[in-house]
Chain A
């Protein structure tokens, strides 16, 4: 009686473990396949010319420089608005706020901001920045829209980084006569910086890859030159990929894959940087 019971359990375990392993394999293998496919098909298109030249012949030839530069400007603009605001908000939540209903409301608000569909951000950006504040379809409208979208990511990551600094650091600083802000600025913030930077990079990575928020707030199909001012519209890599894969007839397939590859490298380069910073910071941690 006991033996049959044991036999069943371990058989189930073996079956179950194999099934779970299979599931994990089925998840991981397509991921690798997707990357390999794009790298394989897109790498032949990459060249210094592709990355640095303007497009011509109806964008069917030449390079994608304006899209790369545009994405860069948008990411920079997003960083300018969301990073200070996000870190300050995280400092508030971690160091100043008490656990009351107001703080709980803020946390719910952050979770909600994180969940709002990206196209709704686009609508909001259209309504507020493009039309109401009359910034028009511009880098600044798109950056502001993207920064509100990125805010929850930065706040969450920064707050977690700040909270992970042991309380002892704060106690010692205050016992030595430091004010709360001095403690934060000179001790807590530097200690939490790697975690904060990781969060910032991951947030910006998402902003760089988004298309829907910039569709009606800043993206342009084709501009003859690079944007001169924040009030100009701009081309951008994710929108450019969308356009050349669906709107332009006779687009050489290699350029499409090449653009996809550049976008992936841009975005994942940021991801990799964040991961490296995170693991090196963990190694150098002082607690």
Chain B
């Protein structure tokens, strides 16, 4: 029984300590405003960096950031459980209809631009591919690296999960080459990894792998493939410049959605996000700042 009392005492002490610490890190009750930000895993680290910077400068605001996929953020917005939904794809027609049915018009803000880099292992000799080749690789028509000028190795295809906006974007723009009637799917044996980092670490150590990810996620030690729109065109590497002059064919906008017109703290935060200060953070993280 003595040990029980001791355990309970330790428990109380710990609780008290937590109470003390939480007093220091919590914003003052009453005067604080809480913004909830949820959605795209592509945007999540950017959103986190923004949240940190903004909270450091505005001590009365606190912002929580959660990932889970563009779909999750939009679903939460539709349920009105978040203030801002991060999405790496645009809201679809059914989702907009659902929003109107729930009593609001979703408002779209472009907050950054993103290049989708196609990455391979650094030891892979292949450095350039056309859109058609990438499409054929991912749909299963091309199975071996030597078919595109590489070594005799099987191709291991890596992709994001189906709930990722990045996945949807890649499917529509690259595999289906922008054709809405095209119904080609990813090859059935494509590895659907639950996170960007999973793709990065597999490509880093596996010479057979090919993957795709937002440029902001690609560390410098991986090899990025130069992409051409067709066999005649120039092979372009993704960068801030090539996204803004539209020469890199696999680029997209990143969005934040609010339920109707934002007001108060949310509006101030969104205004800040398109400011130069916030957009510098965008560039630092490897995304493409929006042009003024």
Q: Please report A residues at the B interface, Cβ cutoff 8 Å.
A: 52, 54, 56-59, 65, 69, 72, 136-137, 197, 220-226, 228, 233, 243, 245-251, 273, 277, 280
Contact = CB atoms under 8 A, between A and B. Distances in A.
23 contacts: A58-B49, A59-B48, A72-B14, A72-B18, A136-B81, A221-B44, A222-B64, A222-B65, A226-B18, A226-B22, A226-B26, A228-B22, A243-B67, A246-B197, A247-B195, A247-B197, A248-B45, A248-B197, A249-B45, A249-B196, A249-B217, A250-B219, A251-B197
A224 B22 contact: no
Interface in B3-55: 3-4, 7, 14, 18, 21-22, 25-27, 29, 41, 44-45, 48-49, 51-52, 55
A248 B62 CA distance: 21
B149 interface: no
B133 interface: no
Contacts of A65: 21
B105 to A, nearest CB: 24
A111 B48 CA distance: 43
B45 A58 contact: yes
Main secondary structure of the interface of A (DSSP, over half): loop
By CB atoms of chain B within 10 A, which of A57, A69, A197 has the most?
A: A69
A173 to B, nearest CB: 20
B55 A224 contact: yes
Contacts of B55: 224
B262 interface: no
Given A58-B48, A136-B81, A225-B25, A249 B219 contact: yes
Given A59-B48, A246-B197, A225 B62 contact: yes
B41 A247 contact: yes
Contact of B66 (A57, A221, A226): A221
A220 to B, nearest CB: 5
B194 interface: yes
B63 interface: yes
Contacts of B52: 56-58
A59 B51 CA distance: 12
B21 A246 contact: no
A65 B52 CA distance: 16
A9 B118 CA distance: 64
Given A246-B197, A247-B67, A248-B45, 7 more contacts: A58-B45, A224-B63, A226-B26, A246-B195, A247-B196, A249-B45, A249-B219
Given A247-B196, A250-B219, A225 B27 contact: yes
A233 B119 CA distance: 36
B201 to A, nearest CB: 8
A137 to B, nearest CB: 8
B18 to A, nearest CB: 5
B18 A69 contact: yes
Nearest to B214: A249
A136 B81 CA distance: 9
A233 B44 CA distance: 17
Contacts of B200: 249
Contacts of A59: 48
B70 to A, nearest CB: 14
Contacts of A249: 45, 196-197, 200, 216-217, 219
A6 B210 CA distance: 62
Contact of B21 (A57, A197, A226, A250): A226
Nearest to B66: A221
B151 to A, nearest CB: 28
B103 interface: no
